[in-house]
């Protein structure tokens, strides 16, 4: 079966193993000095996690305007046809579209630098797996990667592409990853600390105040 052969990378599984293999990057509860950011609350309602930052989302009911999302660099403006529209679905689609735009390009760029060839990039809605690399040389990503800081996105791309040279997590493999992502241990820690927020679904509710402001009543 292709399935049993194909999965050479499972970020979630390796993170679980990581605690045993590399305890130094996790610390222990007794000795933890990272009390301020060691635990991360789930993303609050009407906040959007994107490129590692939390942004405010504002909703507007604008029946004359096409539904959609506009991000101005600070705020996600969500334009809805009616109060029955689903702002969470619109923002989720925006994130998916952004992932479809960004991740294939990142993969192409890093593959050239690392000197590997892949078949194609496949975006999935994986809730427990960030990325994987198949024996057919397909690179699979969860679109949710787009929520991570850019350096962590890069690390995940590099992680998968390096599996095209080493289909394991051995010393040679990590040495190659380290050449292109020198701070990969920090990125792995970020992933472990923020996985709940990354996998959490977007939750946007209609905010009455903004609706009224947008309609200039
Ligand atoms: Zn891996």
- 124-159 pLDDT, tens digit per residue, is 887 788 999 998 999 999 999 999 999 999 999 999
Instruction: Give the Å distance between the CA of 209 and the centre of ligand 1.
Output: 46
Cβ atoms of 133 and 177 within 8 Å: the answer is no
User: For residues 48 and 69, what is the distance between their CA atoms, to the nearest angstrom?
Assistant: 12
Residues around the ion ligand 1 (C-beta < 5 A): 9
Give yes or no for residue 53 having a pLDDT over 60. Answer: yes
Reported pTM: 0.77
How confident is the model over 54-66, as a mean pLDDT? 94
- The pLDDT score that the predictor gives to residue 207 is 78
CA atoms in the 13 A half-sphere facing the CB of 182: 0
Instruction: Give the Å distance between the CA of 51 and the centre of ligand 1.
Output: 22
Instruction: Give the Å distance between the CA of 58 and the centre of ligand 1.
Output: 38
Instruction: Give the Å distance between the CA of 97 and the centre of ligand 1.
Output: 25
Instruction: Give the Å distance between the CA of 100 and the centre of ligand 1.
Output: 22
Instruction: Give the Å distance between the CA of 48 and the centre of ligand 1.
Output: 28
Instruction: Give the Å distance between the CA of 66 and the centre of ligand 1.
Output: 42
- Pairwise pLDDT comparison (148 vs 27), residue with the higher score: 148
Percent of all residues in the chain with a pLDDT value above 90, rounded to a whole number: 70
Instruction: Give the Å distance between the CA of 202 and the centre of ligand 1.
Output: 27
- Pairwise pLDDT comparison (217 vs 188), residue with the higher score: 188
Domain coordinates of the chain in residue numbers? 2-32+40-215
How confident is the model over 82-110, as a mean pLDDT? 97
Specify the CATH number for 2-32+40-215; select among 3.30.530.20, 3.30.2010.10, 3.90.1150.10, 3.90.580.10. Answer: 3.30.2010.10
Q: Mean pLDDT in the chain? A: 83
Give yes or no for residue 77 having a pLDDT over 90. Answer: yes
Give yes or no for residue 6 having a pLDDT over 50. Answer: no
Give yes or no for residue 197 having a pLDDT over 80. Answer: yes
- The pLDDT score that the predictor gives to residue 22 is 46
- The pLDDT score that the predictor gives to residue 42 is 59
User: For residues 80 and 66, what is the distance between their CA atoms, to the nearest angstrom?
Assistant: 8
Give yes or no for residue 25 having a pLDDT over 50. Answer: no
- Pairwise pLDDT comparison (27 vs 42), residue with the higher score: 42
In this structure, what is the dihedral angle of CA atoms 99, 102, 107, 108, given to the nearest 10 degrees?
A: 140
What are the tokens at 204?
Answer: 């946007």
Instruction: Give the Å distance between the CA of 65 and the centre of ligand 1.
Output: 45
Give yes or no for residue 175 having a pLDDT over 70. Answer: yes
- The pLDDT score that the predictor gives to residue 112 is 98
Instruction: Give the Å distance between the CA of 10 and the centre of ligand 1.
Output: 6
Instruction: Give the Å distance between the CA of 170 and the centre of ligand 1.
Output: 10
- Pairwise pLDDT comparison (211 vs 117), residue with the higher score: 117
Instruction: Give the Å distance between the CA of 52 and the centre of ligand 1.
Output: 22
- The pLDDT score that the predictor gives to residue 129 is 87
Instruction: Give the Å distance between the CA of 54 and the centre of ligand 1.
Output: 27
Instruction: Give the Å distance between the CA of 32 and the centre of ligand 1.
Output: 27
């Amino acid at each position: 079966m292709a399935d049993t052969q194909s999965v050479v990378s499972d970020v979630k599984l390796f993170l679980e193993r990581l605690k045993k293999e590399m305890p130094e990057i996790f610390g222990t509860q007794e000795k933890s000095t990272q009390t301020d950011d060691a635990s991360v609350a789930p993303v609050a309602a009407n906040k959007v996690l994107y490129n590692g930052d939390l942004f405010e989302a504002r909703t507007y009911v604008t029946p004359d305007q096409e539904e959609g999302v506009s991000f101005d660099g600070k705020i996600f403006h969500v334009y809805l046809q009616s109060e029955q529209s689903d702002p969470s679905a619109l923002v989720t689609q925006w994130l998916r579209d952004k992932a479809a735009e960004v991740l294939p390009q990142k993969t192409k760029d890093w593959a050239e630098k690392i000197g590997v060839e892949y078949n194609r990039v496949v975006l999935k809605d994986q809730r427990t797996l960030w990325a994987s690399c198949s024996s057919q040389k397909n690179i699979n990503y969860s679109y949710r990667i787009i929520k991570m800081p850019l350096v962590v996105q890069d690390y995940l791309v590099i992680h998968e592409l390096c599996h095209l040279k080493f289909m394991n997590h051995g010393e040679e493999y990590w040495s190659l990853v380290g050449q292109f992502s020198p701070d990969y241990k920090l990125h792995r820690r970020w992933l472990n600390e923020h996985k709940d927020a990354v996998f959490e679904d977007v939750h946007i509710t209609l905010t009455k105040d903004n609706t009224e402001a947008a309609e200039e009543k």
